[in-house]
Amino acid sequence: MKRRTFLHQSLLGAGGLVLGPAALEAISPFDVVFGQGNKRYRLNEKWSQAEVARYPVNDCHEIVQDSKGRILLLTNETRNNVLVYDRSGKILDAWGTEYPGAHGFTLFNEGGQDVLFICDNKRHQVIKTDIKGKVLMILDYPKETGVYSNADEYIPTETAIAANGEIYVVDGYGKDYVIQYDSKGRYIRHFGGRGEGDAFLKNAHGIWVDTRSGKPLLMVTSREQNAFKRYSMVGQYLDTVAMPGAWVCRPVIKGEYLYAAVLQSSSRPWQQSGFVTILDKNNRVVSNLAGSTPEYKNGQLKEMYQTVQAFSYPHDVCIDADENMYLAQWNSGKVYPYKLEPVA
């Protein structure tokens, strides 16, 4: 079945559109509006102008924007781990051949200069680089914690950097700890980890410093629990933001909103059932792109799920100053990033 026909039939089945048979082939995926409320988007699957032979990708794990407005993609394709785009989708640069497990990708402005933190889950390391890829620091497995006997037990997936330069690493495919370092890479503490109770994590896949309330705190993904968990900057558990049905990836905060790729729906695991979710400043879901309309009953969010198979396994999003969204996908047929453009 052609993708266009499948997309339209999926929309019809989900109740997203009411169209007669003659209208199906007249509407392309570019005309479909995704999301609800004031957070709705049109899909541009052809945004990337990268040549496959010259700039191949494998898993497109994460995507960020630098201070010059360029869009940087991280892939575990070692012919070019990082692709640098302008906002029109044109390739400007490519670098990196030494990151076979490239997964986490965080940009931080350090004294007026952009730096990057790459989590490589095959190297079991976090690597800090400048914007062109020069290595500035390497964090090996945190033996100082006393909870790791060797590097293989440590599989970092993401970092977040506080305003003072302190580094927080989540060991999302290892033991699920959050490890805190100072700006020089010296160990401070660890918290979270696997276990029973609200303060523990299961698949601590992503992390972000949330400053929306005026006081910084850590928003940490607990993906297999379908939740974000909030901690103080010194690791005290605060509360849980339940995301029923959604295997959420890294929280990405832009302005008052939190955006997150949802790898898959719990109702259809490992069936390319992902979507994108958006939360307001009160951490209430306000829109799901290619997902169910968010619904609260007695203050509790009802289970969410994919309604349109527009995406396969969304893994990360980046939001630019014009609120355009760039979407990276894992295990999705080596597709380049999509762009989603806001609808007024």
CATH code where residue 122 lies = 2.120.10.30
Neighbours of 311 (CB within 10 A): 29
Q: Are strands 252-254 and 257-265 parallel, antiparallel or unpaired?
A: antiparallel
Pair (222, 88) in one structural domain: yes
Residue pair 281/256 in contact by the 8 Å Cβ criterion: yes
Q: Tell me the two tokens of residue 12.
A: 């019809």
For residue 253 the two structure tokens come to 């905060």
Same domain, 15 and 162: no
- pLDDT means per 10 residues, the chain with 344 residues, are 37 34 36 93 97 98 98 98 98 98 98 98 98 98 97 98 98 98 98 96 98 97 98 98 98 98 98 98 98 97 97 97 97 97 94
CB 171 within 8 A of CB 139: no
Same domain (yes/no): 113, 8: no
Question: Are 155 and 173 part of one and the same domain?
Answer: yes
d(CA 141, CA 52): 35
Output the CA torsion sign for 254, 320, 42, 84. negative
State the pLDDT at residue 255. Answer: 97
Contacts of 112 (CB under 8 A, 6+ apart): none
63 and 5, same domain (yes or no): no
Do 100 and 59 sit in the same domain of this protein? yes
| 20 and 49 together in one domain | no
Question: Which positions ≥6 away from 31 have C-beta within 8 Å?
Answer: 42
Same domain, 60 and 195: yes
Distance between CA atoms of residues 43 and 126, nearest Å:
33
Pairing of strands 33-36, 60-65: unpaired
Q: What is the pLDDT of residue 5?
A: 35
What pLDDT, on a 0 to 100 scale, did the predictor assign at position 19? 29
Q: Are residues 8 and 76 in the same domain?
A: no
Question: Is the domain of 1 the same as that of 137?
Answer: no
The pair of structure tokens assigned to 202 is 């299961």
Q: Which residues contact 173 (CB under 8 A, 6 or more apart)?
A: 121, 155, 156, 157, 203
Tokens standing for residue 275:
């979507």
Q: What is the DSSP string of 282-338?
A: TS-EEEEETBPPP-EETTEEPPP-BSSTT-SSEEEEEE-TT--EEEEESSSSSPPPE
- Identify whether residues 26 and 37 lie together within a single domain: no
Structure tokens at 240: 């849980």
Using CA atoms, how far apart are residues 193 and 148, in angstroms rounded to an integer?
Answer: 12
Which domain range does residue 26 map to? 1-31
Contact present, 180 and 188 (Cβ < 8 Å): yes
Domain total in the chain: 2
Largest CA distance in the chain: 66
Contact 128, 117 (CB under 8 A): yes
25 and 124 housed in the same domain: no
Neighbour-count burial of 26, counting CB atoms closer than 10 A to its CB (0-12 exposed, 13-18 middle, 19+ buried):
exposed
Strands 285-289 and 275-279: antiparallel
Owner of token pair 């939740």: 227
Determine the 3-state secondary structure of 164 from DSSP: coil
